A and B are shown apart, each in its own frame.
Chain A
């Protein structure tokens, strides 16, 4: 009995990972343009980075404000290694160079991890912040390693490769990144299943009790952080290969905050949460940043909204529907969502309009010029657009409060149906 069920889980795992590999392999067929391929490459790098961050925050309960240190150092080390390869000093194929970045991340992870993980919580958060600021500030003082203002650049079209790829084209880089995404994701997932992964969870949930079962919380945290730093270093190495330039900004506070926010928005409670966050935020950044100044504001609002109302992130919002789908009682809830969609859209339109008008007034060179929004031209100074957007925002909010009750009711009936089915079967 147990044998068949375990072979079944093996089969489903194989199907899942095989499917993922196939997906990564076939994705460039519909998205073959240069922009799309760069975007997919960027998403792949960010996925590894976010997953490695979740090894700290989600699995180990360590809130780090300096994870970009390992990402950035991995990037710089890979770039130096690449230049050594091109100079003929280091005989290493390009495909394995991210591993050099990973090992660099690992070494720094062991050093910084050992000194910072004696306690989790606020002290750890502050030490990670301090180390992040230290590395960021010293990056301008040590120009021979960090390259000063202009950074370090290199040529990824190396002589030695394992594959017939020359890495002159983006699609070849995409496949390299795709390969490392699959390997790293698989390894990080397997790590959650090992005794170490379990002990990391135990240390996160109850650091007072774990010593009683014979584990040293400090050591467990150090190992967990070092491994997270290893994967962050791999992501940094891929970044270096993808962009062929690494500047000191990538060790700074902004990428550190970014990975924290996207991991949290994706959801730290599930393994796949950070993947969702990485995809969503990178898409938002690439799509919206050109259209509107406001995307950072929307990003921050999303983050704060998640903290206040959905601390499990997108992943938990999706997973809470799982029992409803399994019990086939989803239809009522879906109907309620469809009803709520209208006021939500109205509310968003109103708020977006107000935000865009204000950005136009504060950021454009000549606020007197007409502005464009949703294809309509109007003046930010006139009262009519203000009145319309205010009405939309308030009206939408009012209707949202009304329809919220419908959704809550739909959830209650779905829950009751579920209970009835369970007791019936």
Chain B
């Protein structure tokens, strides 16, 4: 039991940190520009594919740095020539543009790399166990992912709180008009934040793509989960996004291991139920382990209905 708890916690932490790398950029973009970037997970996918391509040419380690930078440039270009063009048509058009972009990036990935998953591997140097607790291995690559994620978190924190541009970004999170009125070049800040957020997502793709899987469906898998993080965390709150990421990571990893259903719950109180058929039978047979995919959406919908500000949000959108 302790083994299960410790490893679920570690895996949940790992997944949560990856989610935070994705959602931190998305929260920044969403809060500043009011645009929910549907293509954000697509940049995660692009990061994985870029890193895969670079790793076939020059190896994993250069890709770790080059791929996120390239993604950042691509993101900045998308902001400059795509989003800014549709900005005049309003928020719905901006949202739809990112939806179309996500669609196009997925097709472009199929066009270039094919429909099958890419053979993007963990570098050999890290492909061994870091520590063995009880009888389960914790691989070195997982430790490396955790390290990168923590480094990103610390540097993001330092940039946002200790530098001038970070202060402007923080101010623009809550008062975009006010910052603009003070004479800062808000469009340039937008482009920077959009590019930076995309680079963070790309970085998550670089280290996540070979750990999970690199295929054209990876963006569609993760995309909606990232929205859940942003909604649950709340508008304009990086701390909220951090807490929500860890929470979701923990929920998803813990739920996988729990094989209890409503029938078991009733049995706990001495009531044993059996149904002939129909929806009730289905409902009472569902195990918590199977609800993993729907729990995040359930949380998001309930959050939006009852507490639209999110856990730590400062305002509604």
A residues with a Cβ closer than 8 A to B are 57, 61, 63, 115-116, 118-119, 121-123, 125-127, 129-131, 133-134, 137-138, 141-145, 253, 257, 260-261, 264, 293-294, 296-297, 300-301, 303-304, 307-308, 311, 355, 358-359, 362-363
Contacts and interface: CB of A to CB of B under 8 A. Distances in A.
23 contacts: A121-B92, A122-B34, A122-B91, A122-B95, A123-B304, A133-B224, A133-B294, A142-B279, A144-B279, A144-B282, A257-B103, A261-B103, A293-B110, A297-B107, A297-B111, A300-B100, A300-B104, A300-B107, A304-B104, A307-B86, A307-B89, A358-B111, A363-B110
A308 B304 contact: no
A359 B91 contact: no
Categorize the interface residue count of chain B. 35 or more
Given A129-B224, A297-B104, A307 B97 contact: yes
Given A123-B304, A133-B297, A257-B99, A311 B111 contact: no
Contacts of A308: 82, 85-86, 97
Interface of B: 34, 36, 82, 85-86, 89, 91-93, 95-97, 99-101, 103-104, 107-108, 110-115, 220, 224, 227-228, 231, 277-279, 281-283, 286, 290-291, 293-294, 297-298, 300-301, 304-305, 308, 316-317
B93 A311 contact: yes
A129 B227 contact: yes
A121 B96 contact: no
Contacts of B290: 141
A121 B91 contact: yes
B304 A141 contact: no
Given A127-B305, A304-B104, A63 B277 contact: no
A359 B111 CA distance: 5
Grouping DSSP codes into helix (H, G, I), strand (E, B) and loop, the A interface class, with mixed when no group exceeds half, is: helix
B262 to A, nearest CB: 12
Contacts of A359: 111
A301 B282 CA distance: 42
Grouping DSSP codes into helix (H, G, I), strand (E, B) and loop, the B interface class, with mixed when no group exceeds half, is: helix
A63 B101 CA distance: 17
A134 B224 CA distance: 11
Contacts of A118: 305
Instruction: In the A-B complex, list the 6 residue pairs whose CB atoms are closest, starting with the nearest.
Output: A304-B100, A362-B114, A130-B301, A137-B294, A300-B103, A297-B107
Nearest to B109: A362
B278 to A, nearest CB: 5
Nearest to A355: B111
Contacts of A307: 86, 89, 93, 96-97, 100
A266 to B, nearest CB: 14
B100 A303 contact: yes
Contacts of A57: 92
Contacts of A355: 111
A141 B286 contact: yes
Given A121-B91, A123-B304, A297-B104, A260 B99 contact: yes
A134 B228 CA distance: 13
Nearest to A141: B286
Given A63-B92, A134-B298, A143-B282, A125 B100 contact: no
Contacts of B34: 122
A116 to B, nearest CB: 7
A141 to B, nearest CB: 5
A130 B97 contact: no
A311 B89 contact: yes
Contact of B294 (A123, A138, A143, A304): A138
A228 to B, nearest CB: 16
Given A129-B224, A134-B298, A297-B107, A116 B97 contact: no
Contacts of B110: 293, 362-363
Contact of A137 (B220, B281, B297): B297
A15 B317 CA distance: 47
A162 to B, nearest CB: 31
Given A115-B305, A145-B279, 10 more contacts: A57-B92, A122-B36, A127-B305, A129-B224, A131-B297, A133-B297, A134-B301, A141-B282, A141-B290, A307-B97
B191 to A, nearest CB: 18
A130 B96 contact: no
A138 B293 CA distance: 9
A300 B110 CA distance: 13
A217 to B, nearest CB: 15
B73 to A, nearest CB: 20
Contacts of B298: 130, 134
A98 to B, nearest CB: 23
B13 to A, nearest CB: 25
Given A115-B305, A122-B95, A308-B97, A142 B224 contact: no
A281 to B, nearest CB: 13
A355 B282 CA distance: 47
Contacts of A126: 36, 227, 231, 300, 304
Given A130-B300, A300-B104, A116 B111 contact: no
A296 B290 CA distance: 32
A207 B115 CA distance: 45
Nearest to A362: B114
B88 to A, nearest CB: 9
Contacts of A141: 282, 286, 290-291, 294
Given A134-B297, A144-B281, A308-B86, A121 B103 contact: no
A181 B111 CA distance: 37
Contacts of A129: 224, 227
Contacts of A143: 282
Nearest to B304: A127
Contacts of A61: 92
